[in-house]
Structure 1
Amino acid sequence: MRISRQHWEALLAELNDACRQRHLLTYRALIERLQLPAPAMQTLVAALEYLATLDARSERPLRSSLVISQGASRLPRPGFFECVTRLGRFTGPSDGAAAASWHAAEVARVFEFDYPQEP
């Protein structure tokens, strides 16, 4: 799954704006803002997982944690937690108190971190 450079740069810009404004984005809103072509959700998820990998390698808070589901949980999709488990950042089930607590702490870390400008 690949994302165009234009969409990648737009994704980073949206996440930077969300971070600066201290708010979360839904997957649906992000797909609409970026105008991702089909299969939009798969493309977005792949891009967010790639970004999580880059952030983890650089020992930064995971910007992809700013993207959440529209549902009542207000958490990222289960695949996000599978990804962060693979990255060694989280252990446990993708729903429930442990996931919510870890996610809230990660979002707070993202909001406080000063990310370098992307080239």
Structure 2
Amino acid sequence: MKVRISRQHWQALLDELNYARSQRHLLTYRALIERLQLPAPAMQTLVAALEHLAALDARSEQPLRSSLVISQGASRLPRPGFFECVVRLGRFSGPIDGIAAASWHASEVARVFEFEYPQES
């Protein structure tokens, strides 16, 4: 199933991530879905958009803004699919559910907080 996000929702996603970055905060998938008011299938749409953004950031050799989105659970990490995506993009190698993944994620979040992204993204 191919999932698409509207231009309006895409821009709202970029705006939310930029605001979170400027405030040095992380967002949960659930909070982002609610803020963006994504239509069903909301989680699949959000995940597809975040993976697309990760690919764009990777291609531009920028820190991955999608790393700012985490699960509500105690781990405070993105869902396993995020780590599978960053492995495919060549940004991370190793077990997707271990200390190396958590450490890589913390490092990537710090890089996102410090990076100045071009305005047009």
TM-score exceeds 0.5: yes
Alignment of 1:83-102 (within 5 A): 83-102=85-104
Shift of 1:55: 0.2
Alignment of 1:15-26 (within 5 A): 15-26=17-28
- Gaps spanning 5+ residues in structure 2: where? none
Q: Percent identity?
A: 87
User: What residue is the counterpart of 2:13 in the other structure?
Assistant: 11
User: What residue is the counterpart of 2:76 in the other structure?
Assistant: 74
Look up the equivalent residue of 1:84 and give its one-letter code.
V
User: What residue is the counterpart of 2:113 in the other structure?
Assistant: 111
Shift of 1:3: 0.1
Count of aligned positions: 119
CA distance in 2, matches of 1:92, 1:18: 28
CA distance in 1, matches of 2:74, 2:61: 30
What whole-Å deviation, never above 9, does each CA across 1:5-34 have from its counterpart, x for those lacking one?
000000000000000000000000000000
What whole-Å deviation, never above 9, does each CA across 1:26-58 have from its counterpart, x for those lacking one?
000000000000000000000000000000000
- Gaps spanning 5+ residues in structure 1: where? none
Look up the equivalent residue of 1:90 and give its one-letter code.
F
Question: Does 2:39 correspond to 1:45?
Answer: no
After superposition, the CA RMSD in angstroms is 0.7
User: What residue is the counterpart of 1:65 in the other structure?
Assistant: 67
What whole-Å deviation, never above 9, does each CA across 1:63-107 have from its counterpart, x for those lacking one?
000000001110000000000000000011221210110000000
Moved segments of 4+, more than 2 Å: none
Tell me the TM-score normalised to structure 1 length.
0.98
